[in-house]
Structures are given as structure tokens and as C-alpha cells.
Structure 1
Amino acid sequence: MPASIQPHLVSTTNEIPGHRIVRPLGIVRGITVRSRSVVGNVGAALQTLVGGNITIYTELCEKAREEAFELMLRHAAAMGANAVVGMRYDANEVAQGVTEVLAYGTAVQAEPAG
């Protein structure tokens, strides 16, 4: 994670508790596109037979979200932000077995309130 953006300064709301937004900098995003491997699909199919959480897909999804989040923070830091508000995730299948994961929000400069 970029040193200039601390985890507590990323929010899904339009504000950051205990901070005041002094300057909005614009929309930032991080995008990654992932595909499932043949080996992963076979392993997931076997897990499906047993039932429950399909850990192979869970790990793939978590890694994709983490990467998209990291890219969004880098984009925000490059714009001079120290925080991101209104953060969201989105995912779309762009081809069979190929998924796009997008993390986006508004880059801001924030300072402690008071």
C-alpha cells in the first residue's frame, strides 16, 4: 500500500470520521482482469461435489479485489491524495471465465478535524 494512504483513510462513505476533506481530486480506479485456470476449475469442480465454500474461487476473488484496491490506492497517491472516499467494488464477466474487478472512489486530501 502506498505510504501516503493509510487504511483508516479509505471509506465507503463520503466522509472520514475525525477528518475534514479539504480538497477533492477526482475519481480514481484500479482494475484487474483475471481468468480461472483449467487446474483451478477442476479443483473447484471437486469442491463442488463436497459442498460448502469453494475456496479456490474465494481465493481468486479475494486476490483480484486486493489487487484492484492496491492499484486504486496507487492512482490516488499519484494524484496527491492521502485518502479515498466513496470507495466501491464492481465486477463483470468480460468473456467466459474472464472477470474484471474494479475498485473505485474519489481521491481527496483530508486533514484531522479540530
Structure 2
Amino acid sequence: MARMKKNFITSLFDTKGKSQDTEEGLTKIISDFFSSIFSSSNPSELDILKASKGIKSRMTGIMSEALGSQYSAEEVKDAIFGLSPTKAPGPDGFHAIFFQKAWG
């Protein structure tokens, strides 16, 4: 319990030097901080092109074609039956076992 109290942020100073201790104030300060460090004041497409010039693609034409192709029912079945039946549920709340048992 003492560790939790020690690691808890109760207030922060905003850009004007005013202390903020409400949830809304803390959220705004944190959001503004990360927005400022992960954004550019003068973005351009040219900067993106310069940055990506040195990156070599590791994807071949065959790989790209395979990713864009239609998947078959057999591939879906293999994927479903390859999952652990009782691990974490999917976004719909169902475990893999539900789909494995109701496949037919």
C-alpha cells in the first residue's frame, strides 16, 4: 500500500506554471505533453520521403500478393483449430473452443 501511494501522481504543473490536481487537468497536461513530442509543427510529405528512403523493403512481390489474396475456408479452419481452446477470449467475448465445437 505504501508503494502505491509513493507511485501515485497527485498534481502536475501546466505550461503556465500553474499546479493542476484534478483528473481533467492531469489528463490535459499529459495529453498535451505527448502530443507535442510526437508531432511536428511543420510536417511535410517530403520529410516522410526522406526518412523512408534508407529503409529497404523486405517484402517480396510474392509475399505482397499472398497478403492481398482471398483466404480459403480451409485456411480459416486451420487458424481456428490452431488456437488454444480456453485461452483469452476474442473481442466478441467467445473463447476459441466455442468456434471449434460449433464449426460444423
Higher relative contact order (CA 8 A, sep 6+): 1
Q: TM-score, normalised by structure 2?
A: 0.27
Structure (1 or 2) with the greater helix fraction: 2
Q: TM-score, normalised by structure 1?
A: 0.26
Structure (1 or 2) with the greater strand fraction: 1
